[in-house]
Amino acid sequence: MTLRPEMTPSLARLVGARANGMPKPIKWFNISECFRYERPQKGRLRSFYQFNCDIFGESGPSADAESIALLIHSLTAFGFNSNDFCIRLSDRDLWVYFLHTWGITQDEDVLKALSIIDKMEREKPEKTLELLKEILADKAEFFYEQTKVLSKLNSIEGLQSFFKAAESSPAIHKRLENWQHLLESLSALNLSDFIKIDLSIVRGLAYYTGFVFEAFQLIGEGRALAGGGRYDNLVKKLGGPELPAVGWAIGDVTLRDFLELKNLVPKYIDAPDFFVITANHAAHLIALADVTKMRHAGYRVEYPLKETSFSKQIKLASQIGARFGLIYGEDEIRDGKVTIKDFNQRKEITIPRHTLPQVLQATEQKGRLPDSSLHG
């Protein structure tokens, strides 16, 4: 039995099996439960839900820009802004090409070096250097110094200058053109305020192949909110066609912590729109006809399932948080009318039953009961 750690491999298999019959690019999202085996702590639980968004079938930087834009817009939709979070943008390809210039070309050594670089911020320098010596021997110290410089660059001009001065390759220069394209697209989308170039982000998962990024909170504890990047080889490795892909995921636990920090958790009101109050069994049966019409119109309507007094029905309506009451008393039934009571504004109007749909629509539009003189 396996508990799923993430959705990306499952999604890659699913899309790979159907890709030939689907128009490209394929844009996909899902919300799934995932699991991790570690000690539970703030922001990280053993069971959590992730919101994943992926684009398949487009290899150019425009897809990366679209993916990053969606991540930013998803967070700003909750009420966050560029003072609350940024997108730390890096590039696995650029790191791989950089490693190649140092003679690190074997896949096993490349992945090992990337793992070391990914943990460099959190690891003691002595430990990092010790691990690098296993790959680079006596060149490890100079490589470490160059890696620290590269990790701290925060502009496209800085990257261009670094690789112009260092021994680089045509692949690196081509990659910097993709960087220029991506940054220009994000600027055109008016998202530059959210973007921070940060080559210290490498992302630990081995399937990443190109641009990688994470949403990082700028207030509170300063932690990653979401992460993702390009994984162009995964679909093919899992038995599907060659299909480039880019995507990201955000977890519910970290997001909720951030919403609470900013007092942005919405107040959910699980209450009906209307509560029906009836005088007797005959009134109850007449009211049920209106209940059906209102439910078909999209309103949430509740009513007591057993006969009880007026006062208890009104008390029940208050307890469940209904905004309006629909009162079918003896006078209303005799005259073919119904009384709508606004519990918040302590106001009520009595109208002919046949005008109920129009009055409800007017009430919904204005957020309050209309003047009874229009319907009396």
Cα torsion through 58, 61, 67, 72, rounded to 10 = -170
CATH code for the domain of 337: 3.40.50.800
Q: How far apart are CA 273 and CA 197, in angstroms?
A: 49
Same domain, 295 and 231: no
* CA-derived radius of gyration, the chain: 30
Q: What is the pTM of this model?
A: 0.78
Whether the Cβ atoms of residue 42 and residue 257 lie closer than 8 Å to each other: yes
User: Are 201 and 288 within one domain?
Assistant: no
- 295 in the same domain as 197: no
Tokens describing residue 146: 């160059």
pLDDT tens per residue across span 142-157:
999 999 999 999 999 9
Is 168 in the same domain as 218? Answer: yes
Both 297 and 161 in one domain: the answer is no
288 shares a domain with 257:
no
317 and 238 co-located in one domain: no
- The neighbouring-strand residues paired with 89 are 197, 213
Domain of residue 85 covers: 8-261
pLDDT band at 374; cut points 50, 70, 90: very low
Which residue, 1, 3, 2, 13, is CA-closest to 207? 13
Would the pLDDT of 375 be above 60? no
- Decide: 351 and 332 in contact? Cβ < 8 Å: no
Residues 247, 299 within the same domain: no
Assess contact for 322 and 302: CB atoms under 8 A: yes
pLDDT in tens, 31-50: 999 998 888 877 778 899 99
Read off the pLDDT of each residue in 98-104 and give the average, rounded to a whole number: 92
**CA distance to 284, 307, 351, per residue, from 281 (Å):** 5, 7, 21
CA of 93: how far to CAs of 74, 175, 211, in Å?
27, 8, 7
Tell me the per-residue pLDDT of 5-20, one tens digit each, with 9 for 90 and over.
889 999 999 999 999 8
Residue 226 lies in a domain: yes
Number of structural domains found in the chain: 2
Q: Quote the CA–CA distance of 214 and 216 in Å, as a whole number.
A: 6
Query: Can you give the pLDDT at residue 373?
Result: 44
Is the pLDDT at 314 greater than 70? The verdict is yes
